[in-house]
Chain A
Amino acid sequence: MRTLPAVTAALVLLATGCEKKSATPAAPAPAAPASVAPGGDSILVGEIFSLTGGQATFGISSRNGIEMAVKEANAAGGVKGKKLETRVYDDQGKPEEAANAATRLVNQDHVAVILGEVASTNSIAMANVAQPARVPMITPTSTNPKVTEIGDYIFRVCFIDPFQGFVMARFARDNLKLNKVAVLRDLKSDYSTGLTDVFTRKFTEMGGKIVAVETYNLGDSDFRGQLTAIKRANPDGIYVPGYYSEVGVIARQARELGLTVPLMGGDGWDSDKLFELGGSAVEGHYFSNHYSSDDPAPRVQKFVAAYKAAYGRVPDALATLAYDAAGVAIDAMRRAPDLSGKSLRDAIAQTKDYPGVAGVITLDDRRNAVKPAVVLKVGKDKNYEYVTTINP
Chain B
Amino acid sequence: MGDLVQHLINGLAAGTIYALVALGYTMVYGVLKLINFAHGDVMMVGTFGAYAVAVGLGRPAQSSLLGVAAIFLVAMGGCALLGLFIERFAYRPLREKPRLTALITAIGISFTLSYGFQLDFGPLPGAAPRAFPEIIPPREWLVFGDRTVVIWNWQVISLLIALLLMVALQALVYRSRFGRAMRAVSFDHRTAALMGIPVDRVIALTFMLGSALAAGAGILFAIKDTVVQPLMGLYVGLKAFVAAVIGGIGNVPGAVVGGLLLGLVEEFVVGYSSSSWRDAVAFSFLILVLLVRPSGLFGTVTAEKV
Contacts and interface: CB of A to CB of B under 8 A. Distances in A.
B68 to A, nearest CB: 19
Interface string B127-152: 01111000000100000000110101
Contact of B225 (A222, A226, A232): A222
B41 interface: no
B275 A216 contact: yes
A247 to B, nearest CB: 11
B90 to A, nearest CB: 26
Interface stretch (A40-48, A250-258, A313-321): A250-258
Contacts of A217: 279
B138 A256 contact: yes
A231 B128 contact: no
B224 A229 contact: no
Contacts of B302: none
A214 B152 contact: no
B150 A231 contact: no
Interface string A226-256: 1011011000000000000100110011001
Given A256-B138, A273-B129, A276-B130, A228 B226 contact: no
B235 A219 contact: yes
Given A214-B270, A245-B128, A221 B3 contact: no
A279 interface: yes
B6 A228 contact: yes
B227 A225 contact: no
A276 B150 contact: no
A86 to B, nearest CB: 33
Contacts of A221: 129, 225-227, 229, 232
B7 A225 contact: yes
B275 A229 contact: yes
A224 B10 contact: yes
Interface string B258-270: 0000000011001
* Interface bin, chain B: 20 to 34
Contacts of B266: 225
Contact of A256 (B130, B131, B148, B152): B152
Given A225-B270, A277-B129, A279-B131, A215 B6 contact: no
Specify the main secondary structure of chain A where it touches its partner.
helix
A187 interface: yes
Interface string B261-298: 00000110011101110110000000000000000000
B231 interface: yes
A228 B275 contact: no
The B contact surface, by secondary structure, is helix
B59 to A, nearest CB: 13
Which of B3, B130, B131 neighbours the largest number of chain A CB atoms within 10 Å of its CB? B131
B14 interface: yes
Nearest to A275: B131
Contacts of B227: 221, 248-249, 277
Nearest to A252: B226
A276 B3 contact: no
A238 B10 CA distance: 20
B225 A228 contact: no
B111 to A, nearest CB: 15
A276 to B, nearest CB: 5
A258 B150 contact: yes
A35 B7 CA distance: 74
Most B Cβ at <10 Å: residue of A214, A216, A222, A273 = A222
Nearest to B150: A258
Contacts of B271: 225, 228-229
Contacts of A187: 276
Contact of B229 (A219, A229, A256): A219
A256 B148 CA distance: 11
Interface in A193-221: 214-217, 219-221
28 contacts: A214-B270, A214-B274, A215-B274, A215-B275, A215-B276, A219-B229, A219-B232, A219-B235, A221-B229, A222-B10, A222-B224, A222-B225, A225-B267, A225-B271, A228-B271, A229-B270, A229-B271, A229-B275, A232-B3, A245-B129, A245-B229, A248-B131, A256-B150, A258-B147, A258-B148, A273-B128, A277-B227, A279-B131
Interface of B: 3, 6-7, 10-11, 13-14, 128-131, 138, 147-148, 150, 152, 224-227, 229, 231-232, 235, 266-267, 270-272, 274-276, 278-279
Interface of A: 187, 214-217, 219-222, 224-226, 228-229, 231-232, 245, 248-249, 252-253, 256-258, 273, 276-277, 279
Given A225-B270, A229-B272, A277-B226, 18 more contacts: A215-B276, A219-B229, A219-B232, A221-B227, A221-B232, A224-B267, A225-B266, A225-B267, A228-B10, A232-B3, A245-B229, A248-B227, A249-B225, A258-B147, A258-B150, A273-B129, A277-B129, A277-B227
